[in-house]
């Protein structure tokens, strides 16, 4: 195995360079573009759902299974792909991920009945699995501890901004092209990203010729030495039974369950339950994700600032719990509001609050992960995808039993947000999971 010290010796930047370069910001820019493309492709199907259901003769229940086929595959393959990035590096793994999912975004246009559409969306989810954990692994190597929450917040800003603008973009495109061609256009964007990433990126900052010695020193400030990436059954067991990680997984289940409504059934809800149409529908359907883009950045900046002033526990767990508390109250208020516009605005506030914590929770994954940032973040995200699988399916069940009752499933999602806030009490980012030099899992109980 190539050690980081060997890489540093082989690819050491010019010793005369004392000016701190900013290559890590370019890495972040690639990450933001990746995040935007993931949500561009995910949200597209929600905005075209009504047209697809009419053309393919799909019931709401069948469309719910189509939505969930993606997240089911995503959940199944998230942990293996995250661990794969830890082992061979994120340059190759992310290239493969983007090429795969872009191919099946385009393939969605070829579906002419329910079963092929179900299979294609499952394969789409299989391909996209591991994208966010591998970006988290990338940030763990390219950003110092003091900047990781902000980096994660800006990254998710790209995801939610892309998702927030997609409904308006799709609405405009549907005026000039059929829904199938929209999927082709969106799928092609990913191939451009994959070529640029593979040609420019390097797994370690020390490998990149544009990284100065000053930036390399800044990136490595406060970092523990990265130990072996060896992963066997005992190591995996110790990681999976860590209390903080278990609490993170439960919390992220509640966050994803509630938030996934925004990228699946929200357009249908606003149209059928609240009576919005046309441009107003497109704007309000995208509003939770647009607001989330702002919340992502503010949440990332807040978690890093509070951490620097009050410590990791307050900066990560305190910020995360407060965000979910606001999200739960806002979603329940929106579900029960009589005025349609007030309901849409409160749902958008709930989505933004649920996104405010992303810098905190993904930052914790890096804080506690040691050399397994991809695996640890994949565990948390897998739990979230379980919530995302259930969310689109459970809502049509309520509609079948009590037609037009959208209030009950939305209130349940709000209560789950409140339960997620309690989970943060059991998360302690000051107690990282690390590996000794033999690869044995241990828990370092020294506080930072």
State the Cα–Cα distance between residues 155 and 141, nearest whole angstrom. Answer: 15
Cα distances from 360 to residues 71, 120, 319, 416, 442, in angstroms, run: 23, 33, 7, 19, 23
Q: pLDDT band at 263, cuts 50/70/90? A: confident
Whether pLDDT at 300 is above 60: yes
What's the pLDDT at 226? 57
The pLDDT of residue 223 is 62
| Residue 222 region by backbone torsions, left for phi larger than 0, else alpha for psi between -120 and 50, else beta | left
**pLDDT for position 441:** 44
Please give the CATH number for the structural domain made up of 18-443: 1.20.1250.20
Q: Among 47-51, 222-226, 343-347, which stretch is predicted with the lowest mean pLDDT?
A: 222-226
> What per-residue confidence (pLDDT) applies to 9?
41
β-bridge partners, 435: 441
Give the torsion sign (CA, 293, 294, 295, 298).
positive
Nearest to 379 by CA among 71, 38, 82: 82
17-26, 64-73, 218-227, 234-243: least confidently modelled range: 218-227
> What pLDDT does residue 292 have?
86
Give the Cα separation of 135 and 152 in Å (integer): 9
Residue-averaged pLDDT of the chain: 84
Cα separation of 428 and 431, whole Å? 6
- What pLDDT, on the 0 to 100 scale, is given for residue 49? 81
- CA neighbours closer than 13 Å in the CB half-sphere of residue 73: 18
pLDDT for the residue numbered 400: 79
Give the confidence band of 437 by pLDDT, cuts at 50, 70, 90: very low
Residue 1 above 50 pLDDT?
A: no
Tell me what pLDDT residue 349 has.
96
Residue 362 has pLDDT above 80, yes or no: yes
The domain limits of the chain are: 18-443
Predicted confidence band at 277 (pLDDT cuts at 50, 70, 90)? Answer: confident
- Calculate mean pLDDT across residues 151-171: 81
Which tokens in the block code for residue 446? Answer: 């020294």
Q: Residue 237 burial (CB < 10 Å; 0-12/13-18/19+)?
A: exposed
Output 201 or 39, whichever has higher pLDDT. Answer: 201
d(CA 434, CA 225): 10
DSSP 413-440: HHHHHHHHHHHGGG--TTS-EEE-TT--
pLDDT at 230: 58
Ordered DSSP codes for 155-221:
HHHHHHHHHHHHHHHHHHHTTTS-HHHHHHHHHHHHHHHHHHHHHH--SSGGG-TT--HHHHHHHTT
User: Is the pLDDT reported for residue 419 higher than 70?
Assistant: yes
Nearest to 55 by CA among 125, 121, 117: 117
Question: Where residue 442 falls among pLDDT bands split at 50, 70, 90?
Answer: very low
């Amino acid at each position: 195995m190539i050690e980081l010290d060997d890489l540093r010796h082989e690819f050491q930047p010019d010793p005369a360079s004392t000016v701190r370069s900013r290559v890590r910001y370019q890495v972040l820019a690639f990450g933001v573009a990746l995040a935007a493309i993931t949500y561009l492709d995910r949200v597209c199907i929600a905005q075209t759902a009504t047209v697809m259901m009419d053309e393919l003769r799909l019931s709401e229940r069948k469309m719910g299974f189509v939505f969930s086929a993606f997240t089911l595959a995503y959940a199944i393959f998230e942990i293996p792909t995250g661990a794969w990035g830890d082992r061979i590096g994120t340059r190759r793994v992310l290239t493969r991920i983007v090429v795969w999912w872009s191919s099946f975004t385009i393939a969605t246009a070829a579906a002419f009945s329910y079963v092929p559409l179900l299979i294609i969306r499952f394969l789409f989810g299989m391909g996209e699995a591991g994208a966010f954990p591998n970006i988290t692994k990338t940030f763990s190597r390219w950003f110092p501890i003091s900047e990781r929450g902000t980096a994660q917040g800006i990254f998710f800003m790209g995801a939610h901004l892309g998702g927030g603008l997609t409904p308006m973009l799709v609405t405009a495109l549907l005026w000039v092209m059929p829904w199938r061609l929209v999927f082709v256009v969106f799928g092609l964007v990913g191939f451009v990203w994959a070529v640029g990433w593979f040609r420019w990126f390097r797994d370690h900052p020390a490998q990149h010729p544009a990284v100065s010695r000053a930036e390399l020193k800044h990136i490595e400030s406060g970092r523990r030495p990265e130990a072996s990436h060896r992963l066997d059954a005992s190591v995996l067991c110790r990681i999976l039974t860590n209390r903080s990680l278990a609490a993170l997984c439960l919390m992220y289940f509640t966050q994803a369950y509630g938030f996934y409504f925004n990228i699946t059934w929200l357009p249908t809800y606003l149209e059928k339950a609240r009576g919005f149409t046309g441009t107003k529908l497109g704007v309000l359907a995208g509003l939770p994700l647009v607001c989330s883009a702002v919340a992502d950045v503010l949440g990332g900046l807040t978690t890093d600032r509070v951490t620097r002033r009050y410590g990791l526990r307050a900066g990560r767990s305190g910020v995360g719990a407060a965000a979910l508390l606001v999200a739960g109250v806002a979603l329940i208020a929106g579900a029960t509001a009589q005025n349609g516009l007030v309901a849409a605005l409160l749902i958008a506030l709930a989505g933004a609050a649920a996104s405010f914590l992303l810098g905190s929770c993904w930052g914790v994954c890096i804080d506690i992960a040691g050399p397994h940032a991809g695996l640890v973040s994949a565990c948390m995200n897998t739990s979230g995808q379980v919530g995302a699988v259930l969310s689109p399916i459970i809502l049509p069940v309520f509609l079948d039993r009590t037609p037009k009752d959208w209030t009950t499933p939305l209130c349940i999602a709000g209560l789950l947000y409140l339960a997620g806030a309690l989970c943060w009490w059991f998360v302690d980012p000051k107690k990282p999971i690390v590996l000794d030099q033999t690869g044995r899992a241990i828990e370092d109980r020294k506080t930072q």
